[in-house]
Amino acid sequence: ILKGIDVIGESSTGSGKTLAFGVGVINKVEENKGLQALILVPTRELVDQVRKEIISLALNKRLYITSIYGGVGMSPQIEELKRTNIVIATPGRLLDHHGRGNINLKSLKILVLDEADRMLDMGFIDSIEKIIKYCPKERQTLLFSATIHSKIKLLAKNYLKNPIDVKATKYVDPSKLIQVYYDVHKNSRISLLLHLLEEKEGLAMVFCNTRRMVDFVTKNLRENKISAVSIHGGMTQNKRTKIIDQFNEGRNEVLVCTDVAARGLHIQDVSHVFNYEIPKDSNDYVHRIGRTARIGNSGKVVNLLCEYDHDNFGRV
């Protein structure tokens, strides 16, 4: 990256990719020279998280670093874009600003596509290709993805120049990760979850497939005196960020969430991951369980299967 070569990084959450491309960005971007680096990510949470890490790396430089995502007002973003050097953005809101003439990508030196597989899964491929075409042809492009499937390969072939493939070693130690499942009636899952939560040592994450189920599980845990909070796509960005920060600080013991929290977020000290519902996509399962057994620690994944989970669990 520091040599200016295009890179395809196959790297799971927590393996240090933000540090890798962040060092490259900070090394290449100069003070008072306009917008020189663009980092595209799939979610609002990731925008804020990446921005915090880039700021921590840029301590010795006076750089303006801007977050761009939807769900908040455009006016403050427009003002920041007038002087920014680095932009971290979701594709939709970035295109919105570009269409209004608020952002100029002509001086871009480096483009980062982070969590590329997730962005494609969310339907951002057309937006990403539009953004790339607005960027200078002479640039460095870094593409990071947890999995390198055919669509990612095609994207890399079309827009990267002689890239080097880099694979990060797995961050989760399989020997320290226990995975179990309970086959139960759907009406028994809450009771079983309450019982199993008694054995956890650190923080626990409970994954559901829908916002409605997240709200249902959170309500039941709270009624049973368990300190539970929830996040899903229906909440404002400020509320989601606040909840994640509180959970990381240990102020709540259980986080109930949809897959929006499975990708990219740095959540430490998670001893247990509960799949209250099994995801349809086996890749989402891998990302969920990757929240525990990290950095040499042990972890446990508990799957609560009822009748309608069997097909999904078969795919997993």
> Mind listing the pLDDT tens digit for each residue in 252-307?
999 999 987 666 667 778 899 999 999 998 878 988 888 887 777 889 999 999 99
Task: Give the list of residues 6+ apart from residue 34 with CB closer than 8 angstroms, or none.
Answer: 85, 104, 107
C-alpha dihedral sign at 80, 83, 84, 90: positive
Write down how long the chain is.
Answer: 316
Residue with tokens 């508990």: 302
**What average pLDDT does the chain have?**
91
Residue 12 has pLDDT above 80, yes or no: no
pLDDT of residue 174: 75
13/31 Cα distance (integer angstroms)? 30
Q: Indicate the pTM of the whole model.
A: 0.72
C-alpha distances (whole Å) from 252 to each of 53, 209, 218, 224, 270 are 24, 21, 12, 14, 12
119/291 Cα distance (integer angstroms)? 20
pLDDT of residue 227: 94
pLDDT of residue 214: 95
pLDDT of residue 263: 64
Q: Do 47 and 240 meet the contact criterion of CB atoms below 8 Å apart?
A: no
pLDDT of residue 191: 96
pLDDT in tens, 103-160: 999 999 999 999 998 899 889 999 999 999 999 999 999 999 888 889 999 999 999 9
Q: Do 207 and 279 meet the contact criterion of CB atoms below 8 Å apart?
A: yes
pLDDT of residue 172: 61
Q: Which 3 state secondary structure label does DSSP give 111?
A: strand
